[in-house]
């Protein structure tokens, strides 16, 4: 019976590899997003002579938005894969990002929530720049959504801080 249990547990543990194609799909989506960003930059560059300063600012904010979403994708791809599927052997890689040194499921959630709040802030800023073209109810909704992201990020960060303090105090008591 123990052998059957061990076999079943290995099967359950190996099921984490079902996520690998999803991460590969996110890499492909990131490539498509990068292509869309290059097209946006091309339009901005070719139309620069006829664009108003406000339109250029909106174009640049769009590029910042794309970059922040790409950062979010990278965090999900690398952080999620290394947390839930398989450890990445990057110890000798000089390009290893600093945030990967302390990645775990909780810190990844906080980083993702912070990125979502940043993306939301860029969208809100774009609405403020183009305020004449915006529906006031739409802007109010964006403000509410942004505040929800900020509060959620703050609550996740506080929860992680409390959990890490509790865990570190618990581990020092055991020694």
- Residue 3 makes CB contacts below 8 A (sequence gap 6+) with none
Range of the domain at 86: 23-170
In a domain, 6, yes or no: no
In a domain, 137, yes or no: yes
In a domain, 61, yes or no: yes
Q: What is the mean pLDDT of residues 160-166?
A: 81
In a domain, 120, yes or no: yes
Q: How far is CA 45 from CA 32, 69, 71, 122, in A?
A: 20, 22, 23, 21
Question: Is residue 76 a contact partner of residue 26, using CB atoms and an 8 Å limit?
Answer: yes
In a domain, 10, yes or no: no
Report the first-to-last Cα separation within the chain, whole angstroms. 36
What pLDDT is stored for residue 101 in this prediction?
67
Residue length of the chain: 175
6 alpha-carbon distance from chain centroid: 36
Q: How far is CA 50 from CA 24, 43, 46, 106, in A?
A: 40, 11, 9, 47
What pLDDT is stored for residue 68 in this prediction?
87
Least confident of 3-12, 62-71, 122-131, 163-172: 163-172
Residue 48 pLDDT more than 80? yes
Q: What is the mean pLDDT of residues 5-26?
A: 93
In a domain, 9, yes or no: no
In a domain, 129, yes or no: yes
pLDDT digits (tens, 9 = 90+) for 102-141: 667 777 788 888 888 888 988 888 888 878 888 889 899 9
Number of compact structural domains in the chain:
1
Question: Is residue 101 a contact partner of residue 134, using CB atoms and an 8 Å limit?
Answer: no
In a domain, 7, yes or no: no
pLDDT digits (tens, 9 = 90+) for 57-71: 889 988 988 888 898
pLDDT tier, 150 (very low <50, low <70, confident <90, very high otherwise): very high
């Amino acid at each position: 019976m123990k052998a059957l249990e061990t076999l079943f547990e290995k099967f359950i543990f190996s099921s984490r590899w079902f996520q690998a194609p999803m991460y590969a799909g996110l890499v492909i989506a990131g490539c498509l997003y990068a292509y869309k960003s290059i097209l946006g930059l091309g339009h901005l560059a070719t139309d620069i002579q006829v664009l108003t300063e406000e339109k250029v600012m909106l174009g640049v904010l769009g590029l910042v938005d794309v970059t922040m979403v790409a950062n979010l994708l990278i965090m999900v791809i690398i952080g999620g894969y290394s947390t839930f599927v398989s450890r990445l052997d990057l110890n000798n890689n000089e390009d290893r990002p600093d945030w990967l040194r302390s990645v775990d499921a909780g810190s990844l959630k906080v980083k993702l929530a912070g990125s979502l709040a940043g993306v939301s802030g860029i969208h809100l800023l774009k609405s403020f720049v183009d305020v004449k073209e915006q529906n006031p109810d739409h802007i109010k909704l964006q403000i509410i959504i942004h505040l929800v992201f900020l509060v959620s990020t703050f609550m996740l960060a506080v929860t992680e801080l409390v959990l890490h303090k509790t865990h570190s105090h618990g581990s020092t008591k055991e020694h």
